[in-house]
Every structure is written in structure tokens, then in C-alpha cells.
Structure 1
Amino acid sequence: MSNNEGATMEVELTPEQKQAEERRILTEDLNRNVKFLERGIAASEVHYIHRALRTVLALRKRLQPEVLAEIIAGYASPSNQKTVSDCLSSILEALGQQRPAASSTAKVCEPEVCMYFGLLAQLFLLDAKEFERGAQLSNVLVAMVSSTQRRTLDSVVSRVFFYYSRFFEVSGHLSDARTLLLNALQTATLANMKETKAMLLTLLLRNYMHYKLYDQAERLAAKTTFPADAPNNLLARYLYYMGRIEAIQLNYSQAQMHLLEATRKAPSNAATAGFQQMVHKIYVIVELLMGNIPERSIFRVPILKKPLQPYFELTQAVRVGDLAQFQDVVRRYQEKFLEDQVLVLVQRLRHNVIKAGIRSISIAYSRISLRDICIKLHLDSEEDAEYIVAKAIRDGVIDANIDHEKGYVKSAEIHNVYATSEPQHAFDRRITFCLNLYNESVKSMRYPGGDHRKELAYADEAIKREREYAHELENEDFDDDVDGDAMDQDL
């Protein structure tokens, strides 16, 4: 074997060495994030804090309580606030680690750093299924939030509240968290903590929907305003909950708008596959309830194809207006619809299936008897068929007349849709959406603070010093050359 091949071979580490290397890397990552937090606190710049929080999910997979406890021990300063000191002790107790003694050389722990440590501890306890200990720690963190209100706490606190609610949800006591979330929402609104307010609104809507309290959820949404500059992930979840609430309340046009916006705000990647599937399930049903047929391309997306198979068959039954096929689909996928909590909406589609069947019959036949309609739609009697056709005419589903004496339905002449104002309204809706999307994109742009200007000024000074130094070196070289020429002449 050549030396080059031996140099390129990787050295195999023992399990102890691998563990030590993982601890070292984890310690460096945690310390780097803490420095970002401290820098953001000192400069009052939120984007530094966002930069530290961006790596939380990556740290979650390799978090070790011993390493976190060692870093917390470096902040056991006697100068800490009492609330911060108690919070750090609660974090260590929840992780099963020993509380370190206060040291004069330890750093002072800011509330943001303490909440960051608490957030990491929440993630560890949630993954370890220690729900009771996680709920106790979450209560301590939330109590600390009520006593400390700073703008730089907003991003960290919003995530702490999310896992606070999550612990109560997985333990089956989600209603116990509602009172505190309502009080926290009032506090966040008064303190102008926009991200926390957005998170609390989504958590409360989820809380009400979990117990099917749709009226209370609607009142909460009506009396509050969702922050316009909230992160996209929170806005997508809020729009999804609002879409479900509006669909239950029979406001299908509003529900369609909210769900369509949620599908556009949510990132299209594997990490958000579950959210996209749930949003599209409700969206398909709302489209059908409005009398529209969803585009076939929705059911061809790889991450949606298999989960939306029952809804695809449902769409086919509604499109052709086959009541027997619709009832068969509902019977076969009833458990799936119950699991997705959409069975109530699916059952409402029966009238739409009948309307679709009547519309197809009206287009295919210029005149048809009520008896034939009864047979094609599998209705019980001609009286039911007559009542349903009359209601469809009144609702504007079809343009026809009923001859009650002779017992038939005569369809009116089909008008050209392009001769109406419907295309203009469709273009107007599209233009409005594009303008709103542009305005939201401009509002969501984030610019760095003023710290980069200091760095630029420092860089300019460094460049000037380098140029002066280079100029001095050139002069020195020139002087040496002159002295050398003089010596040659003397010789």
C-alpha cells in the first residue's frame, strides 16, 4: 500500500472516542448558540436570536443532558436573578442532574439564555416521553415568562408555549392548559410580543377544536387580530384552523380562501408532508361543498397521492353525481374519515351529489320525466325528485322549468359563459391574490440591524492600515536599493 493511500484512509475511532467527539461537537454548538443569544441581547437584534433557534431541531436529535448540565453549571452565578436561578435549578432537576454550587467565576445568565436551556430540556423530556416532568418544567418556565417581559424573549417564549401545550395534549389534559394560555395571550398582546401572540392564538384554536368547541373558537378569532408580520409557519397553521372552523360553520367561501392560503404559505418539503396532507383533505371537501371539482393535479403529487385516495374516489362520485357510488365510498372509508375528523363534512356532500346529478341530467336532456330522474339518482319517489329539482332551480344550479301536470322537466337553452361577467370576476380574483402576495412579500422582508455598519467601518480601517503598511514596505525596499547602488559605486 502506497503512502498516499495510507494517508487518505480514515482512522477508526473506538466507541468511547466517538462518544467524546460527539460531546465535544455538541458543546461547541451549544456554546456558539449561547453566544448568538448574548450578542442579540446586547445589541437588541432579534435576528441573532433567530439564528440560534434555527438549529434547535438539529440539536434535538443529539442532545445529551450531561452536556447541557455542564453548560448550565457555567452560569451558576450568585449575581443571577432569583427567578433565573430557580429556573436553572428546575431545569437541572427535570434532567436528573445535580445542581452546581454558585461560583464567583460563573457568568450571569440572562432570561433569554435560561429560557433557551429550558426549551432544550423540554425537547429532551418530550422525546424521552417524560410527560409529567415536562409539564412541571413547562409550568416553571411559563411562570418565569409572566415575571419577565422583554422584546428579545419573544421568539424563545413562543416555542416554550408550544411545547407547554404539547405536554398537556399528549398526556390527555389539554383543557387544563386553556386558562393559562388565555391569560398569556392577554399579556402578550399588551406587551406587543407578536410571535408569542401568534403562537398562543394557534394553540388556543387547536385547544378549542380538540374538544369541538367551534363557537368559542370562532368568537376568539373574531375578537382578536392575528399579527400581520408573524412567521409563515404560524400563519399557515392559523389559516388551516380558521379554514376548518369556517367549514364547520357553513362559511365555505371563507374556508376555501383560508385553506388555499395555508397551502401556499406552508413549505413544500418532506418535513411538512403531514400538514400538507391534512390541509388538502379539508380543501378538497370544501371545494366539493361549494360545487367545484378539485384539479386532478392535486391527487398526483407524490406526498399526497396515497393519503388522498379516499378523497379522490369521493370526488369522482360527486363529479358524476352517482349517489350509490358516493354511499359506497363513504361506507368503505368511514373509519378513515372519522380519523381525519371530516365525516360530518363528508355527509353534507350527499346534497351536492344529487345537485351534480341533476346538473348532468339537465345538460344531457332537453326534456326528461321525473320518473327517469328518480331512477337515475336512486331516489325513493317522484315527489322527492320533484322537490329536489325545484330546489336546484331556485338555488340556480340548473336553468329549467317543471311541468307538474305532465310530470317532466324542460331545460332552458345553454348560454355562453363568456358573454357574462364571470370571466371578469375570475380575473379580478386572480389579480387581487397576486397583489396581496406581493404586498405580503414586501412586508415579510427582514433587514439586518446596525451592527454590520460597525463591522464595515472596522474593515475599512483594516484595509487602510494594510495599504499604509504596504506603502511603507515599498519605501523601505527603495531605500535599500539606493544604499546598495551607492556602495557599488564606492567599490
Structure 2
Amino acid sequence: MTTEQETAPVASTVVDQLTTFLALIRSSAVKFDPRYILKVFRELTSIRRSIKADDLISLINSVYPPSYPTVEYLIGALTPFSNGTHVIIRNNDQSYSVSSNGNNSEMDVDTDGLAVEEDSDEVLPEIDIFIHLLVQIFLHDLGETKALHTFNRHVIKALKSYNKRTLDYIQAKVWYYVFRSSELANDLINIRVELMNALRTATLRHDTETRASVITLLLRDYILTNDINQAYNLVEKTEFPNEATNSVVARYYYYLARIQTIQLDYSSANECVITAIRKCPQTKNALGFLQSATKLQILIQLLTGEIPELSSFDDPLLAKSLRPYSTVTKAVRLGDLTIFNDSLETFGEHLKKDNNYNLVLRLRQNVIKTGIRIISLSYKRISLKDICIKLHLDSELTAEYIVAKAIKDGVVDATINHTKGYMESDEVCYVYSTTSPQEEFDRRIKFCMQLHNDSVKAMRYPMNEDRRDVDADTQAREREQELLQFLQEEDF
């Protein structure tokens, strides 16, 4: 048995699966129910690596009429990667296939009417854009960045030609791959205009998923080009729809946490990154996002003066990628500049690849402050010269400035004797005599209440006939109670 014969059944299975997807999308368009499209996206993940160019060409030829304007560039984008027949010419009586070697042969064409209506040359917009999405996914998985970037110009024109609410979820995916090709082609500035136009259109049409997806793509664009002020203005002037899918919401909160971290708003950033991790899909495909969000959360905790729990580094799925951050955490916990500098030299390239190198550099002051705090707890009185030696600082004057800054920031409770050159620690106060426990308790209560509210919003209660009867009975009893109360008042 040859290789072609072995792979033929697989290709047929893929084409049948794609045809089933088109039927589901048609049902979604007719019934105005997006759950069919979401089911398609879930099942597409498992077969996307098995899709070949010939499968997509067969699907295009079975769906589109021969004179449809999009057929030419759809097949043109797939032809360089095709091994078999790639063009089908239809006449009134018979169909001919033109193969790559130029030979013509008669064949049967099976059209099931999923997309092409009888006596009509129109194709459902949902199916048309979904086939564009399949071509995008194929070129992206193949690593053909230039071909994908060129093909996306036609995709943008196709998106602008339709105005239907049922395209919302498909458009969101399409815009993701449009931006992804621009990112790989290093064309982040020019794509902003199209994204802004898409955001305005989606807002006017109330396309929730597309609007949420485009906002996250714009934030990523600004972050990659270091336009943090523009990203912050976008967050301030737009309202993100929380009704979007969890994967888009997770990305939005991750980008928002990164923006707030760069702007030194660590408390808000910590809440956002926790929300991003909580809403992250619990699948293997989301492992990369979970790693990035966990790394950012560790840095935010270190920047706020907290030490992450050691169990955060024990996860077998995250342990290898978190090695540099474990070393940095150890340096901050011990207040040792030597370990901190060694970790920067050893894992500097890894941190730059994660775009976290500049955030790690901010931790140098935290390392010094931690060292000063450990010294203040260990010694009642210590000279500035000894502090300089223990923290590996340049001079006693530098040590005095750093200790004074730590005292001003409330890191340590101590005083500096400039004449004799030493630091004297104050007595440790009783923590329960302050408002710190109350503030921590209030923060935890707010988090639990927010979690409860989000859980209630996520519930879905289908309205059935029994429910309507119960509501009607309740309203009748309320009217009866009002009438009795009115009669009693009249008697008085």
C-alpha cells in the first residue's frame, strides 16, 4: 500500500469534518445561537494540524459557485502548498478538474447545499468568513508568514463587505490572525488603523466578542511597541465587555496588569493578574499563557514587598520556566545583592525574552531594602560601615542614603546618627494595635464577594413553561396582597 493510499482516508475524514463544521455554522446563522460556532472552535483545535491544502481546496470547490469573486484568491493562496488537483472548472453539463500537470479528467462534484442556496449564487457570510479563517489557520500553522500577511489584505476587504451580528465570534478569530501576521511581519504600526476601524464598527454593531478581541489586540500592539501611554488611554476611553469568552477576558486582564506594573500601580496590577490566571482556560493549549501570567504575578508580588509561596515553583508544568524567577525570589528573600547579580548574568537572556528584564532590574532596590530590614531586626545598633560591607555597597555615604530612604518609606523603624555614623533600630510595635489586620481582612472579604458575584453572573437559567407559571402565580399573589392591604386601609 502506497503512502498516498494510506493518507487518502485521513484526508476524506478531514473534509467530512470540515463539512460538518459548515453545517453547524449554518445552524448558528439560522437559529441565532452562537453555541454552535463555539462547538466548532472547540473541535477545530484537535484537527487543525491535520488539515491539508487539498482538503481546503476541495471544500472551496464544493461550497462556492464557479464565478464567486473570492474563489480566485482563496485557491491562489493554497495552490503553492497543494499536491493534487487545485482548480475545478464547472460547466452546465459536466465538471473538469485541472491538476498540477495540466491533464483534464471528468469527475463528479458532490455539492450538499450547505452554503449555496438553490437557484442562487450567494454564499452565507458566516461560511464565507469561516473558510477565510481556515485558510488563515492553515498558513499560520505552516509558518508561511509572508503568504498569510498578503492573504489578510483580502480578508480585511471581505470583513468590510458584511454587516451581520452572527459573524461576531468568527470575526474575532479572524482579526486575531490578521494581527498575528502583522506581528510576525513586524508591521505593528500600519495595522493599528484597521484595528481602530474594526473597534469602531464592532462598537456600533454591539459585537461583543469582536470588540473585546480587538481591544486586547490593540493593547498588545501598544505594549510591543512600548507605547504605554497610548495603551493606558485606550483602557481609560473604552469599556471592555465582560460578557466575552474567558480566554479573551484573561488576555485583557493580563495586558492590563502589565500596563499597570510598568506605571508602578502594583496593587491594581496584582488584582488584574490574579483575575487573568483565574479565567485562563485549564487546557494544555493555554500553558504558555499560564506561564507568562505566573511570571508576571511573581514579579508583582516581589515589587510590592511580598515573597511568593514556595509552592508556586513546585508545579511540574511551570517549574522549568520559573527557574530564573525562583533564583530572583531567593535573592530578594535573603537580601543578597551577590545572588541577585549572578541571577541577572545567568538568566539575563531568558528574562529579556520574556520582556521582564526591566521589571527585574527594579527589584535591586527591594533586595537592598530587604537586607536593611534583616539587619535592623538582627542588630539593635550597627555602623554604616558594617552595613556597607554586608550589602556590598560602594561607600558609607551610599549606605546612609539607602538607609534614610528605607526609613522614609517605612521599611524599617530606625534612626540614623550622622555624627557617630550608625543606625539604631526602634522597638518593634505590636502589630495588632495598628489597622493592618483590619485592612488585610477587608481586602480578603472584597475578593470573596467579587468571586461570588462573578459566579452568580456566570450562571445560566433557561426560561421554561414551569418557570413562567411560577412567576405568574407570584405576581398574582402580590396583587392579591396589595388589594387586601388597600381594603384594610379603607376600613380604617
Change (3 A) 1:266 1:103: farther
Q: Deviations over 1:375-396 (max 9, x none)?
A: 2112222222222212111111
- In 1: Cα distance, 2:160 partner to 2:257 partner: 32
The aligned counterpart of 1:95 is: 78
Residue pair 1:188, 1:194 contacting (<8 A) in 2 also: yes
Aligned residues: 434
Cα deviation, residue 27, structure 1? 2.4
Change (3 A) 1:412 1:20: same
The aligned counterpart of 1:351 is: 365
The aligned counterpart of 1:422 is: 436
Name the Cα RMSD after superposition. 2.3
Q: Deviations over 1:383-425 (max 9, x none)?
A: 2222221211111111112222232222111123233322222
Residue pair 1:76, 1:101 contacting (<8 A) in 2 also: no
Q: Which of residues 197, 201, 219 is equivalent to 1:187?
A: 201
Q: How does 1:216-227 map to 2 (within 5 A)?
A: 216-227=230-241
The aligned counterpart of 2:487 is: none
Cα deviation, residue 267, structure 1? 2.8
- In 2: Cα distance, 1:131 partner to 1:384 partner: 52
The aligned counterpart of 1:74 is: 62
Residue pair 1:202, 1:238 contacting (<8 A) in 2 also: yes
The aligned counterpart of 1:455 is: none
Change (3 A) 1:66 1:325: closer
Q: Deviations over 1:135-190 (max 9, x none)?
A: 23222222222221211100001001111111122222232212111111111111
Residue pair 1:310, 1:329 contacting (<8 A) in 2 also: yes
- In 1: Cα distance, 2:162 partner to 2:35 partner: 20
Q: Deviations over 1:434-475 (max 9, x none)?
A: 22122223323456799xxxxxxxxxxxxxxxxxxxxxxxxx
Of Structure 1 and Structure 2, the greater helix share is in: 1
- In 1: Cα distance, 2:182 partner to 2:89 partner: 30
Give the partner amino acid of 1:373: I
Residue pair 2:49, 2:141 contacting (<8 A) in 1 also: no
Change (3 A) 1:180 1:281: same
Percent identity, aligned pairs only, is 41
Cα deviation, residue 268, structure 1? 3.7
Cα deviation, residue 300, structure 1? 0.8
TM-score, normalised with respect to structure 1: 0.83
Give SS of 1:250's match. coil
The aligned counterpart of 1:484 is: none
- Please, which runs of 5 or more residues in structure 1 have no aligned partner? 1-12, 451-491
Give the partner amino acid of 1:38: R
Change (3 A) 1:26 1:176: same
The aligned counterpart of 2:49 is: 61
Give SS of 2:424's match. strand
Residue pair 1:45, 1:449 contacting (<8 A) in 2 also: no
- In 2: Cα distance, 1:393 partner to 1:440 partner: 41
Give the partner amino acid of 1:44: F
Change (3 A) 1:449 1:38: farther
Cα deviation, residue 16, structure 1? 4.5
Residue pair 2:195, 2:214 contacting (<8 A) in 1 also: yes
Q: Deviations over 1:283-333 (max 9, x none)?
A: 212211111111111111112111111111111111111122212221222
The aligned counterpart of 1:280 is: 294
Residue pair 1:49, 1:155 contacting (<8 A) in 2 also: yes
Q: How does 1:265-276 map to 2 (within 5 A)?
A: 265-276=279-290
Give SS of 1:302's match. coil
- Please, which runs of 5 or more residues in structure 2 have no aligned partner? 80-85, 94-110, 118-122, 465-492
Greater radius of gyration (CA): 1
Residue pair 2:269, 2:300 contacting (<8 A) in 1 also: yes
Indicate yes or no: 2:189 matched with 1:175.
yes
The aligned counterpart of 2:316 is: 302
- In 2: Cα distance, 1:68 partner to 1:386 partner: 70
The aligned counterpart of 1:30 is: 18
Give SS of 1:401's match. strand
Residue pair 2:149, 2:185 contacting (<8 A) in 1 also: no
- In 2: Cα distance, 1:160 partner to 1:20 partner: 29
- In 2: Cα distance, 1:102 partner to 1:111 partner: 25
Q: Which runs of 4+ in 1 moved over 6 A?
A: 102-105, 447-450
Q: Which of residues 139, 155, 161 is equivalent to 1:147?
A: 161
Cα deviation, residue 100, structure 1? 4.5
- In 1: Cα distance, 2:89 partner to 2:40 partner: 25
